[in-house]
Structure 1
Amino acid sequence: PLPHPTLLRTWFVSPPLTACLFVTPEGSYPKPSISVSPGGVIPLGGNVTIRCCHQRLGLRFLLYKDGDGNYTNFTDPAGSEAEFPITRARRDHGGSYTCRYSKRTDPPDYSEPSDPVQIIVAGEGPSPTPPSTKENSHRPR
């Protein structure tokens, strides 16, 4: 008698879970596309622009870095594309970025996150701090 009720419970629970899984990807908020220009590798002090876009108009775009749950920036573009410029890039600008969009209503409904894009800030070597630190660490020895 025990296996039969267990099978019935599994059968009754599965359809609602399956329905939820199908509804989420087919909802009205699919993920936006994201791109970086120029390329993903920029020189220290250089400029780069992250662009997020979707076909819908009048949305708020939010930019996230390194999977952090808090957005780093947002914009309310007139069209369907948002630009997030990074000027005078520093080492801490490097990382993985994603974006989402939401309605400007309260409470907002958010889209799925975009695929990530990677930004690498090159030219970190000439910083004067690491050589002096290395020299100081060798002196006590």
Structure 2
Amino acid sequence: MSFTFISLFYLGLSLGQEMEVYNERLSKPHLQALTTPVVAPGGDVTLQCSLPPQSYPQKVTFFLQKLQNTELLQSKTGEWTKTDFLLFFLRPQDTGKYHCMYQEITGSYRVSEPSETLTLWVTEALPKPFLTATSSQLVVSGTNVTLFCWGPIRGVGFALYKEGEESFVGIRESTQDGDEFLLTHVNINHTGNYSCRYDVGLDSNVTTTPSDLLELTLLSQQDISFQHISKTKVSRYIWITLRHLVILFFLFLFLAFLCNHHT
């Protein structure tokens, strides 16, 4: 059943229900994918629209809509706090941003603000993300290091893997910019090659490509001391070189002055 928002109001009028239009809209609901927002072509997905937190069951009509589409995809009426919208046999062109709304069916017939958008991806494969260390890949024993995984696909979580281990190191839910994986009290067991990939679930038919490997190396106290000495030597060499250049510059000016005075 498909309506535009304007047709919904006219439908209420045709049933002889007097409606009052208020400028103040109801609080926005929440839209989420019950499994993953990434699905292979021909697959199905369930999107759940929920009333704002701490809402009690009330008789409302929920609407699901795709952005840049004037018609509603589905609508459901009942005395609920949430409802599920099932989308079947999805095609690549179904990829896009979706939101949901709800409307009171008694009293003022107010319509809610739209929910935050949820991006649905209908694809056979996701591109590889990127994995970086927020500070350095060279880590001092006993300290913490944060690995940051990010990519062009929004709204999908990430899983972190270590080369040579069968299971993942950790899974993070989706964020706007990417996901951070914190490794605490790093020791020799943390060294090795790491990669990350999008987390679409074990039962998904969507292919996920891992990121390029990032090697985590542990620094010993001898390495730290050597680096400190090396940096000190380099700084001293630079200082001596600059001092000599300054002396040569003033010597050149003095010789130029003598030549000019003699002339």
TM-score by length of 1: 0.62
Q: Spell out the pairing of 1:1-141 with structure 2 (5 A cutoff).
A: 27=24, 29-54=26-51, 55-56=55-56, 57-105=58-106, 108-123=109-124
> Would the alpha carbon gap of residues 45 and 75 (structure 1) be closer, same or farther in structure 2, given more than 3 Å must change?
same
Q: Which moved more, 1:36-45 or 1:64-73?
A: 64-73
> Matched residue pairs, number?
100
2:44 maps to a residue whose letter is N
Distance 1:74 1:118 in 2: 19
Q: Distance in 2 between matches of 1:28 and 1:111?
A: 5
Instruction: Give the deviation of 1:106 after TM superposition.
Output: 8.5
Kindly provide the CA deviation profile for residues 42-89 of structure 1, in whole angstroms up to 9, marking residues without a partner as x: 011111001001124211001110243432211113321111101221
Question: What is the alpha-carbon distance in structure 2 between the residues aligned to residue 53 and residue 81 of structure 1?
Answer: 4
One-letter amino acid of the counterpart of residue 96, structure 1: K
Which has the bigger relative contact order, CA under 8 A and spacing at least 6? Answer: 1
Q: Would you say the 8 A contact 1:52–1:99 is kept in 2?
A: yes
Contact 1:67 1:97 in 2 (8 A): no
User: Which of the two has higher C-alpha Rg?
Assistant: 2
Cα distance in 2 for partners of 1:109, 1:69 equals 19
Consecutive unaligned residues of structure 1, counting only runs of 5 or more, are: 1-23, 125-141
Deviations along 1:26-57, whole A, 9 cap, x unmatched?
Answer: x5610001101221110111110010011242
CA distance in 2, matches of 1:105, 1:122: 41
From the two aligned structures, give the one with the greater strand fraction.
Answer: 2
Supply the distance in 1 between the matched residues of 2:100 and 2:41 (Cα, whole angstroms): 23
Moved over 2 A (4+): 67-70, 105-108
SS in 1 for 2:48: strand
| 3-state secondary structure, aligned to 2:98 | strand
- Is the 1:60–1:103 Cα contact (8 Å) retained in structure 2? yes
Q: Compute the TM-score of the two structures, normalised by the length of structure 2.
A: 0.35
CA contact (8 A) 1:47 1:85 kept: yes
Cα distance in 1 for residues equivalent to 2:105 and 2:75: 12
Identical-residue share of aligned pairs (%): 23
Q: Which runs of 5+ in 2 are unaligned?
A: 1-22, 126-263
